[in-house]
Structure 1
C-alpha cells in the first residue's frame, strides 16, 4: 500500500492537472466560438461560388479545356493534409494521418512505391509525422494557424495549383476534418485537382439558367476557377480549425472529468491509508501499555 506522503503528492499532482485541463477547455471554447463563426460565414460564400461555376456549363469551352481540369495518367500525386500545430485534441490529428495512409495504401500504392507521392502538410503535427516517414514534403506550412487568414492559406493553394498546371503532379487530393458540432468531426477526402465535372448538375443548371457572358465565358472561367480552388482550400482549413478547437474542448472536458474521478479514488485511498495508520498506532500504543503493565 502506498504511503500517505505518496498518495498526498498524487492528489496535489492530479489537482494541478485538473486545473490545467479546465483552463484549456475554457480557452478552446472561446476560440471555438470565433472559429465556428468564421466557417459559418464562409460556407454560404463557397457554396454560392461553386453554384456559379456549375451554372457555367463546367470547365469546357469553345477555346479548349481549362488547365486545372486536364485529366492525365496519375503518376505523381500530391496530398494536402490539414492537421493542427498542437496536440491535446484527442484523435483529431491521428484521424487525418490514418486517412492519408489509407488513401495511399488503397489508391496510390504504386506511386508511393516509386516515391512519387508528396505531402503538403498544413499544420505542424502533420508535417512532423509525414516528414519522419520519408515522404517528400511540398512547402512548409507549419505556422499557418498562428496567423490564419486567406493570404496565408492562398500560398499553399497556389503552390499545389502551380504544381498541377506545370505537370509536377497529376492529381491533388485534400484530406481534412469537417466541423459538424463540438463533439463530432468528419474526415473528408476530396479530389482537389483535376476539377471534377458533375454532368447531371451541369445539365440541370443549364436548363434553369440563361447567362450572357461579358467578357467571354473562357475569360470568366480563367478567373473564377483559380479563385474557387483557393476558396476550397481556405474553407477546408477553416473547417479543420473549428474542428480542432471542438476536439480539444471535448478532450479537455473528458480529461477534467477523469481527473475528478481519480481524485475521488485517491482521497478515498488516502483516508483508508490514514485510518489504517492510526489504527496501527493505537494498537502499538495499547500493546506497549499492556507490556508495561505486565512488566510491573
Structure 2
C-alpha cells in the first residue's frame, strides 16, 4: 500500500503540472487564432501568384527569367523551417526527419547545405553536420525571424537565397516545412523553391498581356513571388507550431486529469486502509484491557 504522504505529494505535483499545461493550451489557442488568420489570408494570394509566375515562366527563355534556369545539380540548399521551442509533440521531429530522409534518398550524390529557420532544426542538422558554414552570403540560421514575423524580414533572407542561386552557388533550392491543415493536422512538405517550377504546358501563358512592358513586370513580379512563397511557408509553419502545441497541451492536460483520478482513488484506498488499521488497533487494545 503506498505511503499517504507520497501520494499527496504526487497529487500536488500532477495538479501543478495540469495547471501549467492548461495555461499553455490557452496561450497556444490564442496565438493559433492569429497565426491561422494570417496564413488563411495569405495562402490564396500566394498560390495565385505562384500559378501566374509558373505560367508566364513557361514562355520565357533564360535571358528573360534567370530564376528558371535548369543546371546540372551539384550543390543544393535546403531551408529547414521548425520552431524555436519544444512542447509541441512531433511537430519538429517529423519535418527534420523528412528533410533528412529526402537528403539521403534524393540528394545522396550531391553536396547539400541546410540553413535553418528555427532552433530545433539548427540543433538537429548541426548533429548531422549539414549546416551551412558561417561567414557566407547566406546566414547559417535565421531563428529570430519568429520574433518579428513580417514580410520585410523574410524578404531579406529570400533575397540572399535568390542571389546565391543567380551567382551559381547553388543549382537547386528547396524549402522544408510543416503545412497547416488544422489544429490537429500538419503535413510535412518539401517544395522546390528554385529554379522556378513551370507547368508542363504553356497554354495559360498566352492569355497574359503585359502592360507597360514585359521586362518591368517580370523584374518586379518574379522576385516578389519567390519572397511570397518563402513567407507563406514560414507562416504555415508558424500556424502549425501553435496548432501542434495546443493539441499536445490538451492531451497532456487530459492525461494529468486521468492520472489525478487514479491517484485520488489510490489515496482514498490508502487512507481507508490506515483508518481501518487504527480502528482495529483501538479495538484490540480495548479488548485486551477488558480481558485484564
TM-score, scaled relative to structure 1: 0.91
Q: Distance in 1 between matches of 2:116 and 2:205?
A: 38
- Identify the match of residue 129 of structure 2 among 128, 134, 138: 134
Q: Does the CA contact (< 8 Å) of 1:124 and 1:143 recur in 2?
A: no
Q: Does the CA contact (< 8 Å) of 2:68 and 2:194 recur in 1?
A: yes
The 5-angstrom pairing of residues 172-187 of structure 1 reads 172-187=173-188
Q: Does the CA contact (< 8 Å) of 2:122 and 2:131 recur in 1?
A: no
Q: Does the CA contact (< 8 Å) of 1:100 and 1:175 recur in 2?
A: yes
The 5-angstrom pairing of residues 31-42 of structure 1 reads 31-42=31-42
Distance apart, 1:288 and its partner CA:
2.7
Tell me the secondary structure at the aligned position of residue 119 of structure 1. Answer: strand
Cα gap change, 1:55 to 1:130, in 2 (>3 Å) = closer
The 5-angstrom pairing of residues 197-276 of structure 1 reads 197-200=198-201, 202-203=202-203, 205-206=204-205, 209-215=207-213, 217-276=214-273
2:116 maps to 1:117 = no
Return 5+ residue gaps in structure 1 as ranges. Answer: none
Cα gap change, 1:58 to 1:220, in 2 (>3 Å) = farther
Q: Distance in 2 between matches of 1:163 and 1:23?
A: 44
2:243 maps to 1:282 = no
Return 5+ residue gaps in structure 2 as ranges. Answer: 133-138
2:63 maps to 1:68 = no
Deviates more, 1:72-81 or 1:225-234: 72-81
CA RMSD between the two structures: 1.7
The 5-angstrom pairing of residues 11-30 of structure 1 reads 11-30=11-30
Distance apart, 1:54 and its partner CA:
3.7
Q: Distance in 1 between matches of 2:156 and 2:23?
A: 34
Deviates more, 1:167-176 or 1:44-53: 44-53
Q: Does the CA contact (< 8 Å) of 1:77 and 1:118 recur in 2?
A: yes
Give the aligned length.
286
Tell me the secondary structure at the aligned position of residue 64 of structure 1. Answer: coil
The answer for the alignment partner of 1:95 in structure 2 is 94
The answer for the alignment partner of 2:136 in structure 1 is none
The answer for the alignment partner of 1:77 in structure 2 is 76
Q: Distance in 2 between matches of 1:52 and 1:76?
A: 28
TM-score, scaled relative to structure 2: 0.92
Deviates more, 1:26-35 or 1:275-284: 275-284
Distance apart, 1:195 and its partner CA:
1.2
Deviates more, 1:184-193 or 1:152-161: 152-161
